[in-house]
């Protein structure tokens, strides 16, 4: 099991555990964690599962593909550590990962 900490924009923390293979978005939705909308359901087509990944985990992830970068390009408040959480598959190496949510999903 992988431990994940989600932090809402207002600082509220949610600690959950998940199996390897699920996406960071899927785990949030399955646990009713507010702050990740995921309108397109994981198709990398809307940008409403935008999150910030704390270092050092950010550095360990495969680079985003072209379609993810396109959607991030229009996400409000996008930063260096921004990702779409539907595109991040959890692996054993992600144990303890910290995921922060933006003020809103557009």
Partner 1 sequence: MNIGTQLNLRATVAEIPLDEIDVSDPALFQNDTIGAYFERLRREEPVHFRKDGKYGSFWSITRFNDIVEVDKNHAAFSSDAKYGGITIWDRGMYRQNFLNMDPPRHDDYRKVVSPIVAPENLAKLEGFIRSRAIEILESLPLNQTFDWVEHVSRNLTTQMLATLFDFPYEERHLLPYWSDIAIVDVNAGTSVTSEQERERQLQPCYDYFARLWNERVSKGTGNDLVSMLAHSEAARTMTQDELRGTIILLIIGGNDTTRNSITGGLLALNQNPGEYQKLRENPGLIPNMVSEIIRWQTPLSHMRRTAVMDTVIGGKQIRAGEKVVMWYLSGNRDNGVIQDADQFRIDRKNARHHLSFGFGIHRCVGNRLAELQLRILWEEIMRRYSFIEVMGQPVRTYSNFVHGFESLPVRIHK
Question: Can you tell me the distance from the alpha carbon of 100 to that of 31, in angstroms, rounded to the nearest whole number?
Answer: 15
Our finding on whether 77 is near partner 1 (CB under 8 A) is yes
Cβ distance to partner 1 smaller for residue 47 or 88 = 47
- Does the N-terminal peptide bond of residue 56 adopt cis geometry, omega within 30 degrees of 0? yes
Helix, strand or coil, per DSSP, at residue 97: strand
Looking at beta carbons only, is 2 or 26 nearer to partner 1? 26
From 17-25, 52-60, 71-79, 87-95, give the range in contact with partner 1 by CB under 8 A: 71-79
Nearer to partner 1, 39 or 79 (CB): 39
41 conformational bin, left if phi > 0, alpha if psi -120 to 50, beta if neither: left
Minimum separation from the CB atom of position 105 to partner 1 (A): 8
């Amino acid at each position: 099991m992988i431990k994940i900490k989600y932090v809402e924009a207002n600082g509220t923390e949610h600690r959950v555990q998940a199996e390897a293979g699920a996406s960071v978005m899927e785990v949030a939705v399955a646990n009713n964690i507010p702050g990740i909308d995921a309108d397109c359901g994981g198709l990398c087509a809307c940008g409403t599962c935008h999150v910030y990944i704390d270092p050092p985990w950010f550095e360990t992830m495969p680079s985003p593909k072209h379609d993810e970068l396109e959607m991030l390009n229009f996400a409000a408040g996008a930063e260096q550590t921004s990702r779409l959480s539907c595109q991040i598959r959890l692996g054993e190496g992600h144990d303890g990962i910290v995921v922060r949510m933006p003020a809103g999903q557009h």
